[in-house]
């Protein structure tokens, strides 16, 4: 399992998802994966039905007081605790279905291992995503602008000497 985890970390580093992404952007990705789990529990339903059920469950949890604010001083502890709690629940779901966490992680890694994409504004956009070409164009435009700024600064520096 440790080797597989190391491969996943390497995959993230190769795509600049450790330093280039944020906890916020990765939380949105985690939410997207959670929605895939919700969809798997409701086969045959529409995306609108899935979204409605998530909104309804969120409202019910809020009504029960299960959504708790966190102070700035508690944030890191709460984040670590929440990640651990999610792992505990994932282990439960895997065990109930007769899967090991290693099997689940191996299946996910097999799907992403050769995935191509671009990190744009903190989000990894897969090459098969409909927004990929626009993200690449925007990235290249930003790179050109950045290079122009560098070139102009170098030119100023060389003429000032």
- What element of type H or E holds 15? none
Higher pLDDT, 77 or 152: 77
Residue ranges of domains in the chain: 2-129, 130-161
Higher pLDDT: 118 or 80? It is 80
The pLDDT > 70 percentage for the chain reads 99
CA dihedral 69, 72, 77, 79 (to 10 degrees): 60
Tokens 């899935």, residue located:
50
- What's the pTM value of the predicted model, to 2 decimals? 0.79
Residues 132-146 pLDDT 10s: 999 889 888 988 898
3-state per-residue secondary structure call for 36-100: HHHHHHCCCCCHHHHHHHHHHHHHHHHHCCCCCCCCHHHHHHHHHHHHHHHHHHHHHHHHHCCCC
Can you give the pLDDT at residue 158?
A: 79
Structure tokens at 41: 């529990």
Q: What is the pLDDT of residue 161?
A: 60
Rounded distance, CA 80 to CA 58, Å?
21
Q: Which residues on adjacent β-strands are paired with residue 120?
A: 123
98-114 residue pLDDT tens: 999 999 999 999 999 99
Dump pLDDT digits (tens) for 17-70: 898 889 999 999 999 999 999 999 999 999 999 999 999 999 999 999 999 999
């Amino acid at each position: 399992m440790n080797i597989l985890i190391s491969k996943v970390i390497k995959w993230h580093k190769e795509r600049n998802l450790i330093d280039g992404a944020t906890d916020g952007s990765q939380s949105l990705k985690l939410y997207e994966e959670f929605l895939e789990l919700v969809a798997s529990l409701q086969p045959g339903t529409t995306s609108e039905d899935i979204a409605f059920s998530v909104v309804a469950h969120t409202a019910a949890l809020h009504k029960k007081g299960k959504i708790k604010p966190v102070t700035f001083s508690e944030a890191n502890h709460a984040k670590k605790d929440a990640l651990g709690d999610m792992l505990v629940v994932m282990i439960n779901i895997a065990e109930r279905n007769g899967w090991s966490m290693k099997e689940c992680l191996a299946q996910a890694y097999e799907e992403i291992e050769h995935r191509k994409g671009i990190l744009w504004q903190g989000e990894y956009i897969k090459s098969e995503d409909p927004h990929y070409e626009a993200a690449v164009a925007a990235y290249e435009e930003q790179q050109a602008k950045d290079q122009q700024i560098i070139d102009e600064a170098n030119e100023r520096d060389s003429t000032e000497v």
